[in-house]
C-alpha cells in the first residue's frame, strides 16, 4: 500500500530561527500557542499509549485526539496532490473518509510497540504562516528521534498538518507515494480508493 512510510512516521511521532524578520504580536501569539498546543497534545498521546485500557478503548481515545489535533482533510488533500482536483466529488468524499480510517488504524495498530514512550517538547518558531515545534521522542531500547510538528493557524485554531521525523516530511512522502502508486495504475483514482479500502479491511 502506498502510504506505509508516512503512516509509520506519523505513528512514530504520536508515540512520540532564522528568516522571521520583524516579529509581530500575531507571530508571538502563534509561537506561544503552538508550543502549548503540542505540549497538551503530546501529553494526551503519551497518556493513551502508556495508560491502561483495551485496544478498543485506546482506539477511541486516539481517534478523538486525531480528530481534535490534526487537520486530516488538509493532509489528505495535500497528499493526493494534483489528483485531488481531478477526482469527482464522490471520489473525493470516499478518499477523505478512507484516509482518516487508514491513519487511525495504522496508528492504533502500533500503540503496543511504544509502551514507555516520552515526548520532550522543545522550541517553537514561525516559518511563514506556519509554526514549527520541535520535540524529542524517546522509547525504551531505541535511540531518541527528532520530530518537528508543523502547525497551521497557530494563533487562532492550531492544527497539525505535517510531522517531520529526522528531516523527513510525512506529507511530502505521502504525496510521492500516492503519485507513484497512481502512475503505476493508469492514474486511476478508483484503484487507489480500492487499495485504501482493502488496507483498512485487512487491518481491522
Confidence of residue 13 (pLDDT cuts 50, 70, 90): low
Average pLDDT over residues 24-45: 79
Residue 93 has pLDDT above 60, yes or no: yes
The average pLDDT across 167-194 equals 95
**pLDDT the model gives residue 24:** 41
CB 187 within 8 A of CB 87: no
pLDDT at position 25, please? 39
pTM of the model: 0.81
Q: How far apart are CA 133 and CA 2, in angstroms?
A: 27
Which is the CATH superfamily of the domain at 4-199? Tgt2/MlaC (3.10.450.710)
Mean pLDDT of all residues belonging to the chain: 85
Burial class (CB in 10 A: 0-12, 13-18, 19+), 130: middle
3-state helix, strand, coil in the chain (%, to 5): 60, 20, 25
Torsion of CA 49, 178, 99, 171, to 10 degrees: 50
The whole-number pLDDT of residue 54 equals: 86
Under the banding of pLDDT at 50, 70 and 90, the label for residue 28 is: low
pLDDT of residue 103: 86
Q: What is the CA radius of gyration of the chain?
A: 17
Cα–Cα separations (whole angstroms), residue 69 to 7, 72, 91, 150:
16, 9, 25, 11
| pLDDT band, very low/low/confident/very high, at 12 (cuts 50, 70, 90) | low
Amino acid at each position: 500500500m502506498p502510504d506505509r512510510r508516512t503512516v509509520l512516521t506519523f505513528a512514530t511521532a504520536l508515540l512520540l530561527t532564522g528568516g522571521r524578520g520583524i516579529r509581530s504580536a500575531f507571530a508571538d501569539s502563534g509561537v506561544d500557542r503552538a508550543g502549548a498546543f503540542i505540549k497538551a497534545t503530546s501529553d494526551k498521546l503519551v497518556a493513551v499509549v502508556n495508560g491502561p485500557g483495551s485496544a478498543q478503548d485506546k482506539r477511541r481515545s486516539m481517534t478523538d485526539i486525531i480528530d481534535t489535533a490534526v487537520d486530516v482533510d488538509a493532509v489528505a488533500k495535500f497528499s493526493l496532490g494534483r489528483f485531488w482536483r481531478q477526482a469527482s466529488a464522490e471520489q473525493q468524499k470516499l478518499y477523505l473518509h478512507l484516509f482518516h480510517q487508514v491513519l487511525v488504524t495504522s496508528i492504533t495498530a502500533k500503540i503496543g510497540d511504544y509502551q514507555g514512550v516520552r515526548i520532550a517538547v522543545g522550541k517553537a518558531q514561525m516559518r511563514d504562516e506556519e509554526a514549527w515545534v520541535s520535540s524529542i521522542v524517546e522509547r525504551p531500547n531505541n535511540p531518541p528521534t527528532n520530530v518537528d510538528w508543523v502547525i497551521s493557524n497557530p494563533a487562532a485554531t492550531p492544527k497539525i498538518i505535517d510531522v517531520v521525523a529526522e528531516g523527513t516530511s510525512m506529507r511530502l512522502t505521502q504525496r510521492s507515494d500516492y503519485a507513484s502508486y497512481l502512475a503505476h495504475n493508469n492514474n486511476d483514482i478508483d484503484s487507489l480508493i480500492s487499495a485504501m479500502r482493502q488496507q483498512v479491511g485487512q487491518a481491522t
